[in-house]
Amino acid sequence: MKKSLAYKIIEAHLVEGKMQAGEEISIKIDQTLTQDSTGTMAYLQFEAMGIDKVKTKRSVAYIDHNTLQTGFENADDHAYIISTALSHGVYVSKPGNGICHQIHLERFGIPGMTLLGSDSHTPTNGGIGMLAIGAGGLDVAVAMGGGAYHLIMPKIVNVELKGKLTGSTAAKDIILEVLRIMSVKGGVGKVIEYSGEGAASLSVPERATITNMGAELGATTSIFPSDEITKRFLTSQGRAKDFTELKADDGAYYDEKIVIDLNNLEPLAACPHSPDNVKKVSELSDLKVDQVCIGSCTNSSYLDMMRVAAILKGKTVNPSVSLAISPGSKQVLSMLAKNGALYDLIASGARILECACGPCIGMGQSPKTDAVSVRTFNRNFFGRSGTKSAQVYLVSAETAAVTALTGKLTSPKDYLGKTIEIDMPEVFEINDNLILKPEDYKDIQIVRGPNIKPFPINTKLPEKVSGKVLLKMADNITTDHIMPSDSKLLPFRSNIPHLSDYCLSPVDSEFPKRAKEQGGGFLVAGTNYGQGSSREHAALVPLYLKIKGVLALSFARIHRDNLINNGILPLEFMDEKDYQDLEQNDELIIENAVEQVKNGIVEVKNVTKNKIIKTSLNISKRSVNMLIEGGLLNSVKNA
């Protein structure tokens, strides 16, 4: 069989299992990354495993998510992450150095290697030909300890890009078009592999924009070939030795294929409140805009910033618009300062933010009541901006820049006419003085502030599982719904008891109180439950609230894995009518739970309505054993 690139990398890292779509496999992980939103818990879990030093080729801890320090909590968590990471052999990227995915692409990513990150946008590094996968913190902790990563062998989908970007269309428009075609759940159980003349014409930052936002498809990961474009990028970063040419075989087998003609592509926008609610910008031209935000791990590269600076040069931001710009890394910001582009941004009236995730995760710049906010980010989930009444649109950096000037959503095709050509630098500014190397820090003492609390660990699955339906939800419930992570709550990411008072509050503000009064129970949801972030807190906090199982029509990949890792039953309805019939407060019982879980078909009795609900687990034997043991940590300890 002629092989795809993704197939080749998986095959080279295969530890066990058959490489057949739908079968569980395990692969060796070369590199890991964590960030400070999920990292505290990952390192607490790593410590609980009792392993002295990481066993990967390279592990990096980034502090980039919550750099707003309005109290001691963030500073304490950062001190803990820095000290424990260095003590265990992990490199540290300090606050101010930039966003994890941007920096990893610049300084650490290596074509052909595997990367596991405790952030759902880890696939960004597929832009240089890595097999980069987002996962829960516990999976990353296990990988740091030398354990294999277990996943279901994905289908591999080829997206062939024909033609070339023209008329101010951008890489962001490509991934928005893929989202329009596939939807936010169309990539579940799949790797998206790009090819064609259009793919070959894209720079590494443009490729990274596409692989980054491939996370919104629900895909396992996305990947581009490693070619001359990759080589030039790595060489410009002083890393020519890391280059390896990688590509699919001619005539490689793919499970599915999508063809996109870039010559016919137009500037696009994802409308509220989902990344796949995509329309042409030209269809939204009368939309008045209050705020524009440019940055995030999707569109904060040197290339993006230079194009924005060229558009804004000599002009002034519309009086009705607040424009905020956050470069993706210290490298990008330094180069903008050195070549004068930063002056053009400031002179236009833009507000320059630090190199961090910032507004993308609700860390500042929340828009006003009922505002229209146009952003270059990857998610526009309800309330994620920090303002529930805001309408958030996702666009390219070019569309965002011209919109900031006109005050209404504007197509760069109409405003500019042609693509702004920016040459990639032959040599990037390299200054790694905010990256700490563990070999430089011997006998470091781990710092634990008072905000760091023990995390919950489940017990073995009992023979009888019972409780009420505490909440019934609709389709596409995100991890932002399950465990909000805004500027008020993120400082408590290491304090599960505190976070428990806010679990699922965007859906029902009374849920935390009800869950505690009832002593736990079940959750019920529609399709694609748990889409979005990899944050393990969306499983850890329900565990703390004694949630025993989730009955859903379908689950997002990472969240289902996190539920299993924490011993919470992810039960899929076998008949949609059962989902329709279930109501809040219905009493549910699972008899002979251990045996039923082993069989993979779990009958849940609705005592209130005297009805049997058939559910399936659709998980591997290994995952079954984890559920019976009460989660991954218990399985590791008892192995």
Local structure of 371: helix, strand or coil: coil
DSSP string of 187-231?
TBTEEEEEESHHHHTS-HHHHHHHHHHGGGGTBSEEE--B-HHHH
User: What is the model's pLDDT at position 46?
Assistant: 93
Continuous segment of H or E residues that includes residue 481: helix 479-482
Fold of the domain built from segment(s) 5-264: Aconitase; domain 3 (3.30.499)
Query: DSSP code of 20?
Result: S
For 589, other C-beta atoms within 10 Å of its C-beta total 14
Name the class of domain 465-638.
Answer: alpha beta
CATH number of 268-415: 3.30.499.10
* Structural domain boundaries in the chain: 5-264, 268-415, 465-638
Give the per-residue pLDDT at 639: 63
375: which 2 tokens?
Answer: 């952003």
In the chain, % helix, strand, coil (3-state, to 5) comes to 35, 20, 45
Q: What residues does 570 pair with on adjacent strands?
A: 550
- Per-residue pLDDT at 506: 94
Averages of pLDDT over each 10 residues, the chain, 639 residues? 96 97 96 93 91 96 89 90 96 96 97 96 98 95 96 97 92 98 95 98 98 96 98 98 98 97 96 96 94 96 97 97 97 97 98 91 88 96 88 97 97 85 92 97 90 89 97 95 87 91 96 97 97 90 97 95 96 97 97 96 97 94 94 81
Is the separation of the CB atoms in 140 and 32 below 8 Å? yes
Question: Which DSSP category does 552 fall into?
Answer: E
> What phi, psi does 633 have (nearest 5°)?
-60, -40
**Is 264 exposed, middle or buried, given 0-12, 13-18 or 19+ CB atoms closer than 10 A?**
exposed
Residue pointed to by tokens 């890792």:
565
| Residue pair 237/106 in contact by the 8 Å Cβ criterion | yes
What backbone torsions phi and psi does residue 4 show, to the nearest 5 degrees? -75, 165
The candidate with the shortest Cα–Cα distance to 45, out of 562, 584, 598, 550, is: 562
What confidence score (pLDDT) does residue 67 get? 86
DSSP lists the bridge partners of residue 472 as 524
Which class for 346: exposed (0-12), middle (13-18), buried (19 or more C-beta within 10 A)? Answer: middle
| Beta pairing partners, 602 | 615
Residue 186 CA: distances (Å) to CA of 20, 183, 469, 594: 19, 5, 29, 32
**Distance from the Cα of residue 378 to its chain's centroid:** 9
Fold match between domain 5-264 and domain 268-415? yes
Residue of 585, 591, 593 whose CA lies nearest to 609: 585
From the centroid of its chain, how far is CA 206?
18
Task: Decide: 211 and 191 in contact? Cβ < 8 Å.
Answer: no
Show Cβ contacts of residue 517 under 8 Å, excluding neighbours closer than 6 positions.
none
Position of tokens 């430089």? 440
DSSP readout, 254-305? -SEEEEEEGGG---EEEPTT-TT-EEEGGGGTT-B-SEEEE-TTTS-SHHHH
Closest CA to 110 of 134, 126, 91: 126
Sheet containing strand 268-270, strands side by side: 278-280, 268-270, 391-394, 372-375, 291-294, 322-325, 351-352
